[in-house]
Structure 1
Amino acid sequence: MDDRGGSFVAVRRISQGLERGNVYHSSSSSSSSAEAVAGSAAWLGRGLSCVCVQGSHGDARPSFDLTPSQEECLQRLQSRMDVAYDSSIPQHQEALKDLWKLAFPEEELHGIVSEQWKEMGWQGKDPSTDFRGGGFISLENLLYFARSFPKSFQDLLRKQVGDRSVWEYPFAVAGINITFMLIQMLGLEAVKPRSIVGETFLRFLSVNEYAFDLLYCIAFKLMDQQWLSMHASYMEFNTVMKSTRRQLEREIMVKDITGIEDMPSYSLLSQ
């Protein structure tokens, strides 16, 4: 698929804030015009294939040896990655409800399955169907973002900053997409990192156990900044993600950076 061919559910933006009840989804009940702009299928249902960006560090790159500390940190992170979201587990349901409370503290959620979830940028009334590509860690990432940087979280959720397009990216589903992109970029599913970027990140992780969650927050904010600077709309989402990935890779490799907090784009986040 080329850079213009993203197939995700677009969110139509009517005004500067988040407009409740104005989320469009591609379905048999949608109008033909909505179907044309929303994409032919939900990209999460295809394993996030639309935004699995090919990095500059291919499989031919040599692997890097890890210190015992780095290996332990990687294994803990991989254990988190291995947990699928399961709506039958009470703790998973509670985590999802907590996300709602953080996103919309003024509005009561009427059920774990509800049309209200579309207000946050999920594809349907049951968010559990959107976790196939990201797993439970993608929900943990969103929760960390909401708790650690509530202002930035709300700005992105409600699209409050910048001159935005008419058709906006769906916030929650884009968040899952970012989790998946970072796992790919850093090569976290491998026993050892296959790139300097991945190896450098593991050094950060050995210093700060929340390095992945923190990098997620930076990536989300940076993606939105790229979105605005490119004057992007739904068809450019994949291009924006590629640009975001390249910027993250460059910043991780900046000389003298010893942790995630030293990355230039960390300054974009606000509490």
Structure 2
Amino acid sequence: MGIPFQLQTQQGIQQGRALLSENNIMIKKESSPSEPAGGQPVRNTSTSSKPTMPAAAKVNAMVGNRTWFGGLFNGSGKRRQVNTDKTFEMTPLQEQRMQKLKERLNIPYDETRPDHLESLKKLWKVSFPDTELTSLVSEQWKDMGWQGPNPMTDFRGCGFVSLENLLFFARRYPAAFQRLLLKTQGIRATWEYPFAVAGVNVSYMLIQLLELNSARPKSLPGINFVKMLSEHEEAFDILYCIAFEMMDAQWLAMRASYMQFNDVLEATKAQLERELSLEDLHRIQDLPAYNLLLK
């Protein structure tokens, strides 16, 4: 599983080609995209003009699980830090809910656990209610935007919570979920982002943005999220749905194609960070982008 990363200079491209060649990683060019497969671009049969891309974005690479995660979100801008020792203390309820959320984040996807397999079956059922899944390892999963016939390989980057997020989205906001899954809104690119793989990336983005791997948040987005969590125990899952909607809206606004997914996700992260830094945020419904779920 992987986010395309960009090689910014000609020298970097040459060095990158050598490195990728050593590791048997396929390089894809925008001028001749390869046939889509799972996490690779999804072909959209609707007619749309391709956006002009900067020269630096012409060559991207699809890399493996560990490489895909982390690189996009490091050094992506300074956050407004606050002195949490003096200005922010969690209430017992906030501590309890944050601990429960962090425990969820530490659960890897385990294909030997019946409850994990059942959740995967449910995700297929709510996504394609009229199509029977022939097997838990099946080429059918590529229709949802997984990279291969076994989604487990894509869950490794973020764990079981990324499956929980997708399943929550499908159940709580089925119309919005189907609209994004089937790419039914807006003028779409010829080569679309893979839905499921993008969803795992959104989960990872939120974990990083909200500093959920830290003992306590030090930035306004993280602190405001804790406040929301005390008002709504499902704040993380709802925020995931909002972030996925924001990502798709950015995709359409930027008239993006597959190899610009990096830029779209970075723009989504920046917009979400701004909204989570607003004053007087207490409820998840206070976020301006919350209205995206109500379309």
TM-score (norm 2): 0.78
Q: Distance in 2 between matches of 1:39 and 1:203?
A: 39
User: In terms of Rg, which structure is larger?
Assistant: 2
Could you tell me which amino acid in structure 1 is paired with residue 41 of structure 2?
A: V
The answer for the alignment partner of 2:271 in structure 1 is 247
**Once superposed, what is the RMSD of the aligned Cα atoms?**
2.6
Deviation for aligned residue 1:52: 2.7
Determine if the alignment matches structure 1 residue 193 to structure 2 residue 217. Answer: yes
Alignment pair present for 1:13 and 2:34: no
Once residues 115 and 95 of structure 1 are traced to their aligned partners in structure 2, the CA distance between those partners, rounded to angstroms, is 18
Quote how far apart the aligned CAs of 1:67 are. 2.2
CA offset at residue 89 of structure 1? Answer: 0.4
Query: 1:41 corresponds to which residue?
Result: 62
Verify: 1:71 aligned to 2:95, yes or no. yes
Amino acid at match of 2:229: L
Partner residue, 2:171: 147
Q: Distance in 2 between matches of 1:126 and 1:41?
A: 18
Shift of 1:255: 3.0
State the secondary structure of the residue aligned to 2:251. Answer: helix
Aligned to 2:186: 162
- Equivalent residues of 1:51, 1:177 under 8 A apart: no
Sequence identity percentage: 47
**Would you say the 8 A contact 1:53–1:242 is kept in 2?**
no
Query: C-alpha separation between the residues in 2 aligned to 1:242 and 1:53?
Result: 11
Contact 1:150 1:270 in 2 (8 A): no
Assess if the C-alpha contact under 8 Å between 1:9 and 1:38 holds in 2.
no
Give, in whole Å, the separation in 2 of the partners of 1:38 and 1:159: 25
2: CA distance, partners of 1:59 / 1:210: 25
Q: Give the 5 Å matches for 1:70-219.
A: 70-219=94-243
Aligned with 2:94: secondary structure? helix
Offset of residue 110 of structure 1: 0.5
Provide Cα deviations, 1:48-80, integer angstroms capped at 9, x if missing partner: 145335454469864443222221111110000
Question: How far off its partner does 1:38 sit?
Answer: 9.8
- For this pair of structures, how many residues does the alignment match? 252
CA distance in 2, matches of 1:87, 1:132: 11
Q: Which runs of 5+ in 1 are unaligned?
A: 17-36
Correspondence for 1:51 among 72, 76, 83: 72
- The DSSP-based 3-state class of the residue aligned with 1:141 is helix
Aligned equivalent of 1:29: none
For 1:120-157, what per-residue CA distance to the aligned partner results, in whole angstroms no more than 9, with x for missing partners? Answer: 00000000000111110010000110001111100110
